[in-house]
Structure 1
Amino acid sequence: MSASHVGPGPLRPATGAATYNGPAAQRQKGLRRFTAPRPPREERCEMCGAPLDGERHPHLVDTENRALVCACSPCAQLLARPGASKGRFRAVPGRFLSDPAHGIDDNAWELLRIPVGVAFFFRNTALDRLVALYPSPAGATESELEPSSWQTVLDGTRLAALLEPDVEALLLRRSDGRTECYLVPVDICYELVGRMRLRWQGFDGGAEARADLDAFFEHVRRRAGAPDGSRP
């Protein structure tokens, strides 16, 4: 996905995804006394219009339009059934897996040419290829990799063979001389992109963005089990 989210990007964020009011509130500070406070926009299912309860709700991948769709549980269950939408909509699963014994070393990471310490990969069936992205101040940015480069990474972890196309991603973090490797729901990756875009400051992201990144990966570590069902 390009930095501006224009063009043949892999996925567009869900229109009902969480919004972040920090920067917007700062820009509107001078107008606050002239405007009445407005309640938060109620999130609704993009399929039937029903209100969505809570911060976490099901997501579907619209493979035709390459977009994440917010859905209520009944719509998600209905559209995820085989043949229900002729394969257009796929439910984003909730599994988290960890591979602490992966073989993604320094050489493999260098091949990625990722300017930050986080990247995620998933197979996009509409584009019929693997997509590699990383968070940036402008959003999810695609890394133009040679097939041999990302294949080196995929060959380094058993999680690559378990990825469900479109709906699951291989999430990597390079920090303190080591690389963490997880299989996660693809919507979690776009949540991370949104959080980094909100908090990014300066060249390296700044202290607030790094703290939020640490908290995000701590959450992933707590949820992730091993491919054999055991805890890491």
Structure 2
Amino acid sequence: MTTDILRQFTRRPPPEGERCDLCGEPLPAGHRHLVDTSRRSLKCACPPCHLLFTRPGAGQGRFRAVPDRYLTDPGFELDEADWNRLQIPVALAFFFRNSELGRLAAFYPSPAGATESELDPATWDAVLGRSRLAELLEPDVEALLLHRGRSGAVTCTLVPVDVCYELVGRMRLHWKGFDGGAEARADIAECLERITAAARPSHPPAPGPAVPSAHPAAEDPASRSGGAP
């Protein structure tokens, strides 16, 4: 799965005349993807094919359309001990539910590509299961993206799974030396900023108390006890 996905994101620019992997129609810029659940790979899809596989059960469930929602959990917190329990050696990782294997798959980017780190269900439940995003996560097509900033604070964002592999491809394309180099860091930072800008809270904030009107003159005069003047 990793090789096929990385090939899509490390090509610069995409080959002229790129076509839908299902019907062969030309693809527009910024095309969408399908997950082939049997081969664990991404397929490029034209708008009609992508729309077709948004319907439950289409194609007997082999292909699933990657959605485009971005959600964040503002109340999510992860301390140093919890981060260490995830056994992630870098500041970026993503997790998705693999329906074929019936378990969580955990990956982190590296210069060699996406590296898988097996995570036992007990750790998943204890560390990541506390976020509402874990309940909303769609198997195979969405992922939880964790990013640990320099301050140590960790953000958790629900993203389309192809975005995670785009991050991996960007890292592999630009990484230089031991620490990646300025170009790689800037490119990944730009991608993370785009994800942050697109993300919306997983649930709206609770409404505050009603505030009395500060403009009594706007009140309908006929509603006063004395009637109209």
**TM bucket normalised to smaller:** 0.7 to 0.9
The one-character-per-residue Cα deviations of 1:5-40 (angstroms, maximum 9, x if unpaired) are 48xxxxx4176x344349xxxxxxxxxxxxxxxx94
| Secondary structure, aligned partner of 2:42 | strand
**Native 8 Å contact 1:14 1:70 kept in 2:** no
Structure 1 residue 222 corresponds to structure 2 residue 197? yes
Question: For residue 171 of structure 2, what is the amino acid of its counterpart?
Answer: M
From 149, 159, 171, the equivalent of 2:133 is 159
The one-character-per-residue Cα deviations of 1:165-210 (angstroms, maximum 9, x if unpaired) are 0000000001111111100000100111100111112222222111
Structure 1 residue 79 corresponds to structure 2 residue 71? no
The one-character-per-residue Cα deviations of 1:85-126 (angstroms, maximum 9, x if unpaired) are 011111111000111210322111111121110000000001
In the TM superposition, what are the counterparts of 1:127-206 in structure 2 within 5 Å?
127-176=101-150, 177-206=152-181
Equivalence for 1:20:
11
Equivalence for 2:33:
59
Q: Structure 1: how far apart are the matches of 2:71 and 2:175?
A: 27
**Native 8 Å contact 1:14 1:68 kept in 2:** no
Q: Structure 2: how far apart are the matches of 1:60 and 1:45?
A: 10
The alignment's TM-score, normalised by the length of structure 1, stands at: 0.81
Q: Structure 1: how far apart are the matches of 2:163 and 2:101?
A: 21
Give structure 1 stretches of 5+ with no counterpart: 7-11, 23-38
Question: For residue 183 of structure 2, what is the amino acid of its counterpart?
Answer: E
Q: Structure 2: how far apart are the matches of 1:46 and 1:229?
A: 38
Equivalence for 1:207:
182
Deviates more, 1:143-152 or 1:64-73: 143-152
Following superposition, the deviation at residue 229 of structure 1 comes to: 5.1
Q: Structure 1: how far apart are the matches of 2:9 and 2:112?
A: 17
| Secondary structure, aligned partner of 2:21 | coil
In the TM superposition, what are the counterparts of 1:67-146 in structure 2 within 5 Å?
67-146=41-120
**Native 8 Å contact 1:98 1:224 kept in 2:** yes
Q: Structure 1: how far apart are the matches of 2:158 and 2:179?
A: 25
The one-character-per-residue Cα deviations of 1:122-169 (angstroms, maximum 9, x if unpaired) are 000011110000110111110123333333222232111110000000
Q: Structure 2: how far apart are the matches of 1:199 and 1:229?
A: 38
Larger radius of gyration: 2
Deviates more, 1:158-167 or 1:144-153: 144-153
Q: Structure 2: how far apart are the matches of 1:201 and 1:172?
A: 23
**Native 8 Å contact 2:10 2:170 kept in 1:** no
**Native 8 Å contact 1:104 1:156 kept in 2:** no
The alignment's TM-score, normalised by the length of structure 2, stands at: 0.82
Residues paired across the two proteins, number: 204
Extract structure 1 runs of 4+ deviating beyond 3 A: 18-22
Q: Structure 2: how far apart are the matches of 1:140 and 1:60?
A: 19
Deviates more, 1:190-199 or 1:202-211: 202-211
| Secondary structure, aligned partner of 2:24 | coil
